[in-house]
């Protein structure tokens, strides 16, 4: 019995240790690697604007899809160009079918406090950035929430949070299987409130945060210095 208890304790300890080590890793060159989702995010959450490729970074879903799929990002640290970017994925939290019931506890695919790794943007917001939503799981209002950490929803502005730069307080586009453009049901995550929903708050107006599968900076050698 004692051996079993020790084994359980060791397993629990390993789980806690792994959770504590889960984080965003700054790979340099404007790249952030999530070791849980196994994806690389651009450090700049509004690169479309700061790169000069779009005047504001806020565009239609068609424009956003085209921009992110054709993005060529130059990594100045390793002196390489990265292609293959996409929108953050949204997949059913449970099973193969989306649950569109709007809930506060993160148990469905629409609502607040979704920390499932199958919802990449929501996972970034709640787990990596440790931001609060407008509603807590038990139906309470936190003192502050959203990107701007305000007591009310703010739909204009940007902030640098941790390693992330230029995160807008508005709606960001996400992509989901079976919902390609021009479907009217476009998944978005609202950073002003912290909810994920299947439908635009403002038609044809959202931001883009580019993400790439895998740790794209790993194994790429830095150019030799003279």
Per run of 10 residues, the mean pLDDT along the chain (length 226 residues) is: 44 40 87 98 98 96 94 96 97 91 96 97 97 96 94 91 96 83 77 90 82 91 52
pLDDT at 182 (0 to 100) = 57
pLDDT at 8 (0 to 100) = 40
Query: How distant is the alpha carbon of residue 201 from its chain centre?
Result: 18
pLDDT at 186 (0 to 100) = 86
Residues contacting residue 166 through CB under 8 Å, at least 6 positions apart:
44, 45, 46, 47, 49, 50, 158, 160
CB-CB contact of 45 with 164 (8 Å): yes
pLDDT at 9 (0 to 100) = 45
pLDDT at 199 (0 to 100) = 73
The predicted model scores a pTM of 0.86
3-state helix, strand, coil in the chain (%, to 5): 20, 25, 55
Query: How distant is the alpha carbon of residue 29 from its chain centre?
Result: 19
Strands 39-42 and 31-34: antiparallel
Phi, psi values for residue 11, rounded to 5°: -60, -45
Residues contacting residue 27 through CB under 8 Å, at least 6 positions apart:
33, 40, 77, 215, 217, 218
């Amino acid at each position: 019995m004692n051996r079993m208890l020790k084994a359980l304790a060791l397993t629990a300890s390993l789980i806690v240790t792994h959770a504590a080590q889960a984080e965003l890793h700054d790979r340099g060159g404007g790249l952030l690697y999530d070791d849980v989702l196994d994806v690389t995010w651009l450090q700049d959450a509004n690169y479309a604007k700061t790169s000069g490729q779009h005047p504001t970074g806020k565009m239609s879903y068609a424009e956003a899809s085209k921009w992110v799929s054709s993005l060529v990002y130059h990594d100045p640290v390793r002196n390489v160009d990265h292609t293959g970017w996409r929108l953050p994925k949204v997949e059913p939290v449970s099973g193969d079918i989306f649950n569109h019931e709007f809930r506060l506890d993160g148990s469905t695919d629409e609502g607040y406090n979704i920390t499932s790794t199958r919802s990449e943007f929501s996972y970034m917001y709640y787990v990596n950035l440790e931001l609060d939503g407008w509603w807590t799981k038990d139906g309470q209002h936190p003192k502050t929430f959203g990107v701007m950490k305000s007591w009310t929803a703010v739909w204009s502005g940007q902030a640098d949070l941790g390693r992330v730069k230029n995160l807008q307080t508005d709606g960001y586009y996400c992509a989901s299987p079976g919902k390609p453009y021009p479907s009217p049901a476009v998944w978005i995550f609202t950073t002003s409130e912290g909810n994920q929903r299947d439908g635009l708050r403002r038609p044809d107006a959202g931001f883009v945060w580019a993400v790439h599968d895998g740790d794209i900076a790993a194994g790429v050698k830095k150019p030799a210095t003279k």
